[in-house]
Amino acid sequence: MGSENSDKGNPTIQILVAVLGLVGVLGGALIANWDKVFPRAEPQMAPAPAKTDAPKPSPSDTPRRSPATAPPAVRSVNISGVWRDVNVGTVYQVSQDGQSFRFSGTHPTFESSGVGTIRGHTLESSYQTRYRQGGISTGNCAGELSLDAKQIVSRCLDSATGQ
């Protein structure tokens, strides 16, 4: 005698299997795209506050141009000075010569230094980091300098920590 109450015909089990399959597919998609759903904050750097009390230029010191005059050509921006990584807190000293720049920074857990180039508001750099507990990593960065030259946003690929 066969059973008339077969699991194959039970709609509750069919719905449960379909829901579990959907959860599995959605979970796999979430894991595969985790970096797109939860992106890491991009490293941002800003100039450290100036320690001088230099007078601000008066409006008469500012050159005037008529509205019909074309804007001035893009000048090379100078990023020399002290910068602070707002995400990590590292303080960097940057020196620039033309389109080339050098930097070094200290943090309680590491020291980092490197070189780079700047073209307009685009930066590229490479660096080496020495960790205080031992170990070295290297990396490359590409970034953009804000139009007011007060912030750099860059993406770096590090041999130890990834992006």
Helices (H), the chain: 11-32, 34-37
Q: Could you tell me if residue 65 is inside a domain?
A: no
Same domain for 146 and 94: yes
Same domain for 103 and 31: no
> Which pLDDT does position 72 carry in this prediction?
46
Sign of CA pseudo-dihedral 97, 145, 153, 148? positive
- Mean pLDDT (10-residue bins), the chain, 163 residues: 55 77 70 63 61 52 50 66 88 93 92 93 93 93 90 91 84
| The total number of structural domains that make up the chain | 2
> Which pLDDT does position 7 carry in this prediction?
52
Instruction: Write out the E strands in 12-148.
Output: 44-47, 81-85, 91-97, 100-107, 110-119, 122-131, 136-145
In this prediction the pTM is 0.56
- Please name the residue that has the structure tokens 């230094």: 113
Same domain for 153 and 84: yes
Q: Could you tell me if residue 56 is inside a domain?
A: no
> Which pLDDT does position 51 carry in this prediction?
53
Angle at 100 between CA 94 and CA 105, to 5 degrees: 25
5, two tokens: 């109450």
Q: Could you tell me if residue 33 is inside a domain?
A: yes
Q: Name the residue type at position 153.
A: V
Alpha carbon 26 to chain centroid, angstroms: 29
Query: Domain containing 22: what range?
Result: 12-37
Same domain for 135 and 84: yes
Q: Could you tell me if residue 69 is inside a domain?
A: no
Q: Could you tell me if residue 163 is inside a domain?
A: no
Q: Could you tell me if residue 60 is inside a domain?
A: no
Nearest to 102 by CA among 122, 75, 134, 80: 80
Q: Could you tell me if residue 86 is inside a domain?
A: yes
Q: Could you tell me if residue 30 is inside a domain?
A: yes
